[in-house]
Amino acid sequence: MIIFLKPNLDPKEEKNLRRFLVDRKIEVIPVDRKQEKLLVVVGRFGELAKREVESHPAVSRLLATDRPYKLASKSLKVSSQIPLKNGPLIGGREIVIMAGPCSVESKSQIQKMAKFVRQSGSHVLRGGAFKPRTAPYDFQGLGKIGLHFLRLAADSQKLPMITEIIDVRDIELVEKYTDIFQVGTRNMQNYPLLRELGKTRKPVLLKRGMWATYKELLLAAEYILIGGNEQVMLCERGIRTHVQETRFTLDLNAVAYLKHETHLPVIVDPSHGTGRANLVRAMSRAAIAAGADGLLLEVHFDPRVSISDADQAISVEELNKIVKEVKKVAQAIGRS
């Protein structure tokens, strides 16, 4: 159950309602959203309590929801759109394409890439400055200077940017640079990180854990949403299965399911979801046809010399083809 407070409520009245709830042993979590304030009820809520609360002067309305993810659930809202400065509306009619290298490697590399990303018709520049690498001996990203290069490159092409956050202590730093926070698959259940991102007011792209069920992904989003940050998008990026020919199994069932269950936009990462550059184009088309709101693509000038993830990065030429084909598929299903 969600309790919506009346707009412009006198703090005294709110306090009064909270005391009223405490008296009835109704536990709530307050959520301050941009346009409204609400209280999410934890646990059961009897019929009697419901009627009493409904008629409380501080309450505008109640919303019943049978899902464990109350704020992510479609019963709260049909669909969410996330606006981006200099960019498209994520979750709108138009498909959003985020593209760029796995890692920022140098100022000139990312500058050059930003230009190609813009020319291809893509909308957002991606690039990693902090990299969560399986081995401590692998390249861990350029860090702060990488963020700086990425920002410069994005600005030079009037593109918004997205980059990964891996340490809860870096949020303030990363927030200064990025337009979208990316939470990687390994951090989907890093709850302190999610809670802190809920306190920021910048969009968050939350990647599905490679082991997670759909419910777990939605509940992870809920950790951000209860902080009052409404700008969350989900990202399917492949799950661990027994298949050996691809690095991960891109689970597009997840896209179709999530579009039924949540109002949050759904992005697909076919680069990690296949791990093979020659499958990315077909799976980009498939993702859009399944209902995804956008794509996250790993691009490199010369995939043979990429510092990391070489097998899955596509060339700039391939990116151009993907943007074109994906738009045709989008149009075929009534989008653009």
**Within positions 41 to 60, which residues make up the interface with a second copy, using CB under 8 A?**
42-43
Cα–Cα distance list, 262 to 31, 86, 238 (Å): 18, 26, 19
Residue 42, CA atoms < 13 Å, CB-side half-sphere: 8
Q: Is residue 329 involved in binding a second copy (CB under 8 A)?
A: yes
For a second copy, the binding residues in 256-295 under the rule CB under 8 A are 256-257, 259-260, 273-274, 276, 278-279, 282-283, 285-291
In this complex, which beta carbon is closest to a second copy, that of residue 158 or of residue 191?
191
The tokens of 248 are what?
């991960």
> 89, 81 in Cβ contact below 8 A?
yes
For a second copy, the binding residues in 71-130 under the rule CB under 8 A are none
**How far, in Å, CA of 134 to CA of 129, rounded?**
16
Chain centroid to Cα 291, Å, comes to: 16
State the minimum distance, in angstroms, from the CB of residue 43 to a second copy. Answer: 8
Stretch that binds a second copy, among 50-58, 117-125, 149-157, 218-226 (CB under 8 A): 218-226
> 254, 236 in Cβ contact below 8 A?
yes
Express the helix, strand and coil content of the chain in percent, nearest 5 each. 40, 20, 40
Stretch that binds a second copy, among 76-84, 115-123, 143-151, 221-229 (CB under 8 A): 221-229
Stretch that binds a second copy, among 4-12, 75-83, 237-245, 304-312 (CB under 8 A): 237-245
The site that binds a second copy (CB under 8 A) totals a number of residues, namely 74
Torsion of CA 239, 262, 326, 333, to 10 degrees: 130
- Interacting residue with a second copy among 136, 172, 305, 336 (CB under 8 A): 136
- Interacting residue with a second copy among 7, 48, 245, 304 (CB under 8 A): 245
In this complex, which beta carbon is closest to a second copy, that of residue 17 or of residue 225?
225
The tokens of 1 are what?
């159950």
For a second copy, the binding residues in 298-327 under the rule CB under 8 A are 325
Cα–Cα distance list, 40 to 2, 45, 63 (Å): 5, 11, 10
In this complex, which beta carbon is closest to a second copy, that of residue 159 or of residue 236?
236
For a second copy, the binding residues in 163-182 under the rule CB under 8 A are 166-169
Burial of 91 (0-12, 13-18, 19+ CB in 10 A): buried
State the minimum distance, in angstroms, from the CB of residue 246 to a second copy. Answer: 5
In this complex, which beta carbon is closest to a second copy, that of residue 84 or of residue 263?
263
